[in-house]
Chains A and B, each alone.
Chain A
Amino acid sequence: MTQLLTLIVVLPLLGFLLNGLLGQRLGRGFVSAVGCGLPVLAFLTAIMAVRAVLAADAPLVETAFRWALVGDFAFDVSFYLDRLSAVMVLIVTGVGSLIHVYSTGYMKDDPGYARYFAYLNLFLFFMLLLVLGRSLLVLFVGWEGVGLASYLLIGFWFADPVKAAAGKKAFITNRVGDAGFLLGMFVIYSTLGTLEMDRINAAFMGPELPAVSASLIGLLLFIGATGKSAQIPLHVWLPDAMAGPTPVSALIHAATMVTAGVYLVARLSGVYLHAPEASAVVAAIGVLTAFFAATIAVVQTDIKKVLAYSTISQLGFMFLALGVGAYGVAVFHLYTHAFFKACLFLGAGSVIHAMGGEQDIRRMGGLAKKIPWTFGTFAIATAAIAGLPPLAGFFSKDEILWFAFASEAGGQTWLWALASLTALLTAFYMFRLLWLTFFGKPRMDEHTAAHVHESPLSMTGVLVALAVLSAVGGFFSIPHFLEEQLPLPAVDERLHHLEHTLVIIAVAIGLAGLAGAAWLYSGDGSRPARIGARLAPLHRLLSGKYYVDELYEAVIGRPLTWVSDRIFLRIGDRAVIDGTLHGLTGLARQAAGVLGRVQTGNLHLYAWLVLAGIFALLLWSWRHV
């Protein structure tokens, strides 16, 4: 009983080892049982652990082993379960288990079945390490580990060079963020002498503030968070990450891993409370990311890309909440988002499954009747993300908007306005997606249309479960649950009377998005085309995703290639290193040519040399002995 947390973490690792080492030999039944069974066990264990925490009303701390002893400082691998990590652990293991079950249906015919589940379990292991780690160091191991698992799973079909490249892009982009994270850790360690997060928070909560700029730490760690959580300017990897299998997109690139940045900031809320500048940056980046990603999502035609940009946008909302001090609300949105975005992604997976691999929504349409379960769950999740009451997304998004407007810790009208506009766009593009996919006339070819079929129970069952959670999840108030640990910011009293107005506006926005999409896409498709033609430059800009990739390529990629090629390759590698080596080999060869002449093969000469050697030895021994 005393090692519950360790058990939670180790179970998926066991799954990884079993599936990775034995999976290919023991068959699919074994792989499925291990791959799904151990996460479920981890989930059940997590429930027990959380009950223990709630019963004791104190965090559960557990030291697995001592990692390193450096001078007087011991690095322990210890786990820490309080209410915040409890929420995260339940999301990770719960949603994770559901997605594992879903994967047994989705990946049924894939030759890499065992490898897939091994990676998925590996991901879960690192994610739990990240969530449960008490020290930033353990968190960082998990942080890098989920990056690795993400890389492996994005490039799961590595035979396709585009997908392999997407994996590399994700990995490299994350490295940029990790550099910031590491610097933040260095600053923390050198000033506070500890990396354990509860101690860091306590240091900032104490009567004497540490002699270090909280904003510096906050900003450095936030750079790490932008990498992992795909915020501007490091958001470019997430849309490409959709190259992986769809359940992976749901688990890693929507529900869990990408929220690690949010978790990190919420976990270190003590630092950010004392870093108003850093918080302002977080809020601004969050809302800008939300807005830009939403505008891009409006014109995307790939079902998964729409959802990917939507994810970036929703993560932006979470950072907005973090930036205005409403940490509990951010976690609340994280929690509801995990449900409805997982549901959307898995629904999209079900659609792709039904369409035989097609992902372009321009070639879908009219699927509602053919795959009713998928449609129903997808619609509920869409309504949830659009913020229609009483679904989960409504509660969390509404609170974010409210705090963005009224929080005393950085609430601004423009934040609220831009966030509301983003909410409108969100509702619009999500219903556009729903419409283009499920309503209207079928636009696919005959052959595909004949093969459209509902997914197996393992997939639809999970969809239903997630849809129910998306619908009712909002009634469990996470901010209230986390109140004592992450108190909500004070609200400007003068604005209090506007709260109900804002709720009404938010609902109206959701409905407006719905109506706009319905009006635009319900006809024969000529309306969106006309608007697109009239706003051609804007459309091009959005379709090109603001040309961020091209900008990075021009500003960073090409100079780097140039420097690598001209300076490091031609001068450094070929001229200096190769030149030195070739010079040395030439020298050795010439010397060998000279010395080789001594090897005449003539035994008499050798014997004579022995003679001379003995004589020399004699001389030497007389002189020295």
Chain B
Amino acid sequence: MQQALLWFFVLASLAGGLLMLVLRHPMRVALALISTMVSLAAIYAILGVHVIAVFQVLIYVGAVMVFMVYAIMLLDVRDPSFTHRYSGYLLPGLAGAAVLVVAFVRGLAGSTPAVMGAGVGTTFDVQPFSVAFLNDYWLYFELTSVLLLAAVVAAIAILKARRRGNG
């Protein structure tokens, strides 16, 4: 059962990714990306790392993609990129990506199955994760807050620059 679900979500996420290449309107691309991300969250849940699955939904889908959707709606620009989806590098790009995928997958297939620890499929909950975070990695936790603060300041600075440019 689980294995079937895993396969389903793998294929779903792959389909979402491929759709991103084809769809015309950015909003649809965004929806495809969201579906991919949700599929990935489901895969994480199947793997048992629920914390990350939750974060995936909360941060990526809830914050990042919502922000992106806002941007798309804000920039209701009609320009050639909507009618002509592809740049002049369509064929080289696709060819390169295909070669890359083949190279990766062949490399993976040629390798022995990775059995690293006895804990394959180990699941853990929020508690050990939080304990590890606040006991061992508290410094990095604090540093992320600094990074986020810097991002906020930078975003404000960029908006200020835009006003100056217009005024």
Direct contact of A and B (CB under 8 A): yes
> A interface vs B, CB < 8 Å?
604-605, 607-608, 611-612, 614-615, 618-619, 622
Contact A608 B103 (CB under 8 A): no
- The closest CB in chain B to the CB of A619 belongs to B103
* Interface residues as binary, B75-116 with A (CB distance below 8 Å gives 1, 0 otherwise): 000000000000111001100110110011001000000000
Contact A604 B103 (CB under 8 A): no
Given A604-B87, A608-B96, A615-B99, 5 other A-B residues pairs in contact with their CB atoms under 8 A: A608-B92, A611-B93, A615-B96, A618-B104, A622-B107
Report B-chain residues with C-beta under 8 Å of the C-beta of A604: 87-89, 93
A-B pair number, CB within 8 angstroms: 27
Report A-chain residues with C-beta under 8 Å of the C-beta of B89: 604-605, 607-608
CA distance in complex: A431, B29 (Å)? 112
Contact A608 B93 (CB under 8 A): yes
- The closest CB in chain B to the CB of A622 belongs to B107
Name the prevailing secondary structure of the B interface residues.
helix
Contact A615 B93 (CB under 8 A): no
Contact A611 B96 (CB under 8 A): yes
Q: B residues 65-83 with Cβ under 8 Å of A? A: none
Shortest Cβ gap from A618 to chain B (Å): 5
Shortest Cβ gap from B25 to chain A (Å): 20
Report A-chain residues with C-beta under 8 Å of the C-beta of B97: 611
Contact A611 B107 (CB under 8 A): no
Report B-chain residues with C-beta under 8 Å of the C-beta of A612: 96
Contact B87 A615 (CB under 8 A): no
Shortest Cβ gap from B94 to chain A (Å): 10
A618 and B93 in contact (CB under 8 A), knowing A604-B87, A604-B88?
no
A615 and B100 in contact (CB under 8 A), knowing A604-B89, A605-B89?
yes
Report A-chain residues with C-beta under 8 Å of the C-beta of B107: 618, 622
Report B-chain residues with C-beta under 8 Å of the C-beta of A607: 89, 93
CA distance in complex: A608, B95 (Å)? 10
Interface CB pairs A-B, < 8 A, 9: A604-B87, A607-B89, A607-B93, A608-B89, A608-B92, A608-B93, A611-B97, A612-B96, A615-B96
Name the prevailing secondary structure of the A interface residues.
helix
- The closest CB in chain A to the CB of B88 belongs to A604
List of 6 A-B pairs having minimum Cβ-Cβ separation, nearest first: A611-B96, A604-B87, A604-B89, A608-B89, A618-B103, A615-B100
Report B-chain residues with C-beta under 8 Å of the C-beta of A618: 100, 103-104, 107
Shortest Cβ gap from B68 to chain A (Å): 19
Contact B93 A614 (CB under 8 A): no
Shortest Cβ gap from B12 to chain A (Å): 25
Report A-chain residues with C-beta under 8 Å of the C-beta of B103: 615, 618-619
Report A-chain residues with C-beta under 8 Å of the C-beta of B93: 604, 607-608, 611
Report B-chain residues with C-beta under 8 Å of the C-beta of A615: 96, 99-100, 103
Report B-chain residues with C-beta under 8 Å of the C-beta of A611: 93, 96-97, 100
Shortest Cβ gap from A173 to chain B (Å): 66
CA distance in complex: A429, B102 (Å)? 108
Report A-chain residues with C-beta under 8 Å of the C-beta of B88: 604
CA distance in complex: A615, B92 (Å)? 13
- The closest CB in chain B to the CB of A610 belongs to B96
Report B-chain residues with C-beta under 8 Å of the C-beta of A608: 89, 92-93, 96
Report B-chain residues with C-beta under 8 Å of the C-beta of A605: 89
Shortest Cβ gap from A612 to chain B (Å): 6
- Output the residue of A605, A608, A614, A619 with the most chain B CB within 10 A: A608
Shortest Cβ gap from A603 to chain B (Å): 9
- The closest CB in chain B to the CB of A618 belongs to B103
Shortest Cβ gap from A607 to chain B (Å): 8
- The closest CB in chain A to the CB of B96 belongs to A611
Shortest Cβ gap from A616 to chain B (Å): 11
- The closest CB in chain A to the CB of B86 belongs to A604
- The closest CB in chain A to the CB of B87 belongs to A604
CA distance in complex: A435, B90 (Å)? 106
CA distance in complex: A615, B96 (Å)? 8
CA distance in complex: A614, B104 (Å)? 11
CA distance in complex: A619, B96 (Å)? 13
Shortest Cβ gap from A7 to chain B (Å): 61
CA distance in complex: A81, B71 (Å)? 91
CA distance in complex: A618, B100 (Å)? 9
Shortest Cβ gap from B93 to chain A (Å): 6
Report A-chain residues with C-beta under 8 Å of the C-beta of B100: 611, 614-615, 618
Report B-chain residues with C-beta under 8 Å of the C-beta of A619: 103
Shortest Cβ gap from A254 to chain B (Å): 73
CA distance in complex: A605, B96 (Å)? 12
CA distance in complex: A619, B104 (Å)? 10
CA distance in complex: A573, B4 (Å)? 81
Report A-chain residues with C-beta under 8 Å of the C-beta of B104: 618
CA distance in complex: A615, B101 (Å)? 10
CA distance in complex: A605, B100 (Å)? 17
CA distance in complex: A169, B15 (Å)? 89
CA distance in complex: A607, B96 (Å)? 11
Shortest Cβ gap from A162 to chain B (Å): 60
CA distance in complex: A75, B125 (Å)? 78
Shortest Cβ gap from A82 to chain B (Å): 74
CA distance in complex: A338, B104 (Å)? 96
CA distance in complex: A615, B89 (Å)? 17
CA distance in complex: A499, B24 (Å)? 125
CA distance in complex: A614, B107 (Å)? 14
